[in-house]
Structure 1
Amino acid sequence: MNVVKLGMPLVLVAALAACSGNAADPGGKTTITFSYLWSGPEGAAIEKLIAGFNAGQNAIVVKGVSSPDTQKQLASMSSANGTFDISDHFGNTVGSWAAKGILTPLDDLLKEQGVDTGVFAPAAMEQMRHKGQTYALPIAVHTFQLLYNKKLLAEAGIEPPRTMDELAAAVPKLTKTDGKGAITQLGLGWSDLPTSLTTLGYAFGGTWDGADPASPSPTPAEPGNLAALTFWQDNITKKYGADQVSTFKAGWGQYMSAQDPFYTGKLAMVIDGEWQAVSIPKNAPGLEWGVSPIPVARPDLAGATQLTASTLFIPANSKHRKEAAAFMKYMVSETAARDLSLALGNLPARTGLADDPAFAKIANFDAWLQAMKSPKVRSLSSAPYAAEYTADLAGAFDSVNRGTASPQEAMAKVAGRAAGYAKG
């Protein structure tokens, strides 16, 4: 990855340090701490970007600290004296943390820095705001598409499904059982059940947080959501038996290892994210695979999928907010965003980078890039109730998958709990 140079004039950065009132080191530079959740090769990529920032100006020194412990991160943000000035997390936490007062509102800082939030994926920016204010910026985004095993589909004589009817027809053709009825190959599996089912909800025209992102409210029992869960039960749980599916899943290898069930042919199709375009060549170099859009229930839903986001934020107890904002601007700049996305195998949050030729070298990556720009892409709300809602949905989805509750029963239970959520 090329070292990135800071795009802002050095005099502007110097002015920021001078007017912020923050203490500088003996060399005249202000030191700020970037505590990040990445580690290993991903952490090394972050450190390269930090080095690029530090080398590109003379007013701020960023000290990077790899700290994957999210509980430690939250504890620091909730204390009187925090241990870092800028950090990263995920989009679904923004509303809850903003409501607790532990995030710095960014609108004025971003205006001072000249950051245009219109360059980011709209669905990602929906998660960055709470009550009309911006509290985070997306540093990377993730979309979900249908991965398929080319060899298994060819053997079954089918094309990648584009509609839900085609998907329903493909699953039994791609599912195999032994003489005792035990599943040996499943037509459609999952890497993360809640993500798969919320994505299918969008593909059936459902919404999980209402139709207005500016005024979200839990809508678990919306008809499209129920249709998606019914589809799952009819074509997997009921068709092959919840116990058989559970037993089959127990034999899956570790996710994204050489024993990943999709890599080994145990799963013919799976809903997953863009990171697989980097993982598969490393861990399953012989796998013949493809990717296509999520099948949809109606033609007008073409392009429907889910988007999640990785974020940068400044805690409310940061003592160096302006300097942190200057570093944030650098991290979301075109060059830094491109290099980070290439290093991590993630999508750039800036929609303008979707057609950057640098990504063309990653096989099948373009499918996820183009999905990012779809007008049908949706994201779960980051409202203050998000954590409770996500946990309740996960439990309900598990009951649907195990066949212990109907979609109507499971979602009615979530709706009942949602009535008591803190709306912030």
Structure 2
Amino acid sequence: MPRWRIPLRAPVVLASAGLLLAGCANPSTGSADDDPTKPVTITFWHGWSAPGEVKAINDSIARFEKLHPNIRVRATGNVSDATVNQALRAGGDEAPDVVSSFTTNNVGQYCDSGMWVDLDPFMKKTGLKKDEVFPRSLLNYTSYQGNQCALPLLADAFGMYYNKDAFKEAGIARPPKTMSEFVADSKKLTEKSGNSYKRVGFMPNFRLYQNSPDRLFAQWGPTYFDKSGKSRLAKEPASYEFFKTARKLVDAQGGYDALEKFRTSFGDEMSNQNAFLSGKLAMHLDGEWRGLMLDDAKAKFDWGVAPLPVPDDQAETYGRGYLTGTVAGIAHSSKHQNAAWELVRFLTADTDQVVKFANAIHNVPSTYAALKSPKLDADPTFRTFLDIAKNKYSQVLPPSTNGGMYIVQLQDFSYSEEAGDVPDLKKGLKRLDRLIDADTLQSKN
């Protein structure tokens, strides 16, 4: 359950680190001439830190070392992207060989800077056909301008958790499939308590937990950049429909000020005071990991999972969702790149390994074969997220050389827009495009 621990605004720091990466010369050059059958020790830096996660990754390494007894893996966990970037810039023997990241937003920087090596030559050399192994959507967020510098290492899919008891009380037979149903059901499920609320149907505020605007925006299937790499949010019809729907959700449930005041009463996302767990939300956007947490907390109501609703004029896309995930690659400074590739290939493409790891940390598998495996967790709520991951309309964020900065800028704009501080949406989106383009240009210089 890795990604939920990352603050939504984390890309600010990472993007700044990425600007340093993109502008520096490679301090040292690794080697792909090593013999992976010879005894060697390689280092693997990753971000997992919870005891169950660390056990799962250590078990994975033990399985790898059993298959490759000549390769010893020295793993270091709880490592941030900023730390990895600093080590790769410095180079030397202390830099890692294999690296992983929870931040798919930064893949454009990893590839463009050359700090993570292109994996296509390794795949060609060992016969791994990536288009037959990995879903296209996941390959899209692990490459940049033709450079496949990373591969997916499990994925996250976002859907909607809903309180079945609340739905039954409100006389609603099933979760909403379209945005118009979403607005109507949210209003019907909202219960006032004096000047505040007992419960809201769906909290649309973008500062809530996992409600980063890009995640709901994905239901429209927007195009963020044109072919030349310039931001086109002001030219994207979906932008206007998205913010219009968000406004309808707010107005249907009492207005921004009242909802924002209620939101500030919510407990911590990862505690037993989580607003959905405590019954203050009837519907909630979240990832596949939330199901385990609801079970562990012994939720006092019957709950279910469904895909998020889609625009009324895109009903055929229902089942789609927002996808992200962990990525893995090889450091440019590694002098054991062939041995490092053996570990990357095992962690990302070995079906049995991917399934075991997915079951252990309750994340979505990232290969076609693993997604179809009968050994996967049979929990029907988890299966819903597998279906979202397999849906051809599900969307990932496009990589950018400025990392996740454009998403941070979208967040800031969305906070202002929902609070009523953007008097002209078109002008506001044009200004947002200019800001994104300026940062992209700066990152290239």
TM class, shorter-length: 0.7 to 0.9
Tell me if the contact between 2:219 and 2:322 (Cα under 8 Å) persists in the aligned partners: no
- Counterparts in 2 of 1:116 and 1:285: CA distance versus 1, 3 Å: farther
The C-alpha deviation readout for 1:300-345, integer Å capped at 9, x for no partner, is 3323321112100111111211110011111121011111111111
Three-state SS of the structure 1 residue aligned to 2:159 is strand
Tell me if the contact between 2:160 and 2:306 (Cα under 8 Å) persists in the aligned partners: yes
Three-state SS of the structure 1 residue aligned to 2:440 is coil
Pairwise CA distance, 1:65: 1.0
Q: Provide the residue aligned with 1:374 in structure 2.
A: 391
Identify the match of residue 390 of structure 1 among 393, 407, 418: 407
* Percent of paired sites with the same residue: 25
Q: Provide the residue aligned with 1:10 in structure 2.
A: none
Would you say 1:295 and 2:314 are equivalent positions? Answer: no
Three-state SS of the structure 2 residue aligned to 1:316 is coil
- Mapped to 2, the partners of 1:283 and 1:229 lie a distance apart of 34
Identify the match of residue 147 of structure 1 among 135, 141, 161: 161
Three-state SS of the structure 1 residue aligned to 2:75 is strand
Matches within 5 A, 1:171-190: 171-180=186-195, 182-189=196-203
Q: Provide the residue aligned with 1:413 in structure 2.
A: 431
Three-state SS of the structure 2 residue aligned to 1:139 is strand
Tell me if the contact between 1:148 and 1:269 (Cα under 8 Å) persists in the aligned partners: yes
Would you say 1:242 and 2:260 are equivalent positions? Answer: no
Tell me if the contact between 2:108 and 2:399 (Cα under 8 Å) persists in the aligned partners: yes
Q: Provide the residue aligned with 2:13 in structure 1.
A: none
- Counterparts in 2 of 1:218 and 1:192: CA distance versus 1, 3 Å: farther
Q: Provide the residue aligned with 2:89 in structure 1.
A: 78
- Mapped to 2, the partners of 1:207 and 1:243 lie a distance apart of 31
Q: Provide the residue aligned with 2:374 in structure 1.
A: 357
Three-state SS of the structure 1 residue aligned to 2:203 is strand
- Mapped to 1, the partners of 2:141 and 2:272 lie a distance apart of 34
- Mapped to 2, the partners of 1:323 and 1:106 lie a distance apart of 13
- Mapped to 2, the partners of 1:408 and 1:343 lie a distance apart of 46
Three-state SS of the structure 1 residue aligned to 2:308 is coil
- Mapped to 1, the partners of 2:363 and 2:36 lie a distance apart of 36
Pairwise CA distance, 1:217: 4.0
Q: Which runs of 5+ in 1 are unaligned?
A: 1-18
Pairwise CA distance, 1:109: 1.2
- Counterparts in 2 of 1:209 and 1:301: CA distance versus 1, 3 Å: farther
- Counterparts in 2 of 1:155 and 1:258: CA distance versus 1, 3 Å: same
TM-score in terms of structure 1 length? 0.88
Q: Provide the residue aligned with 2:185 in structure 1.
A: 170
TM-score in terms of structure 2 length? 0.84
The alignment of Structure 1 onto Structure 2 pairs a total of residues equal to 400
Q: Provide the residue aligned with 1:340 in structure 2.
A: 357
Letter in 2 for 1:313: G
- Mapped to 2, the partners of 1:345 and 1:383 lie a distance apart of 28
The C-alpha deviation readout for 1:71-94, integer Å capped at 9, x for no partner, is 212110111325210011132211
Q: Provide the residue aligned with 1:101 in structure 2.
A: 114
Tell me if the contact between 2:208 and 2:263 (Cα under 8 Å) persists in the aligned partners: no
- Mapped to 1, the partners of 2:106 and 2:65 lie a distance apart of 29
Three-state SS of the structure 1 residue aligned to 2:278 is coil
Q: Provide the residue aligned with 1:52 in structure 2.
A: 63
| Larger CA deviation: 287-296 vs 230-239 | 230-239
Tell me if the contact between 2:213 and 2:411 (Cα under 8 Å) persists in the aligned partners: no
- Mapped to 1, the partners of 2:145 and 2:100 lie a distance apart of 21
Flag as ranges the 4+ runs of structure 1 deviating above 6 A. Answer: none
Would you say 1:309 and 2:328 are equivalent positions? Answer: no
Identify the match of residue 201 of structure 1 among 217, 225, 229: 217
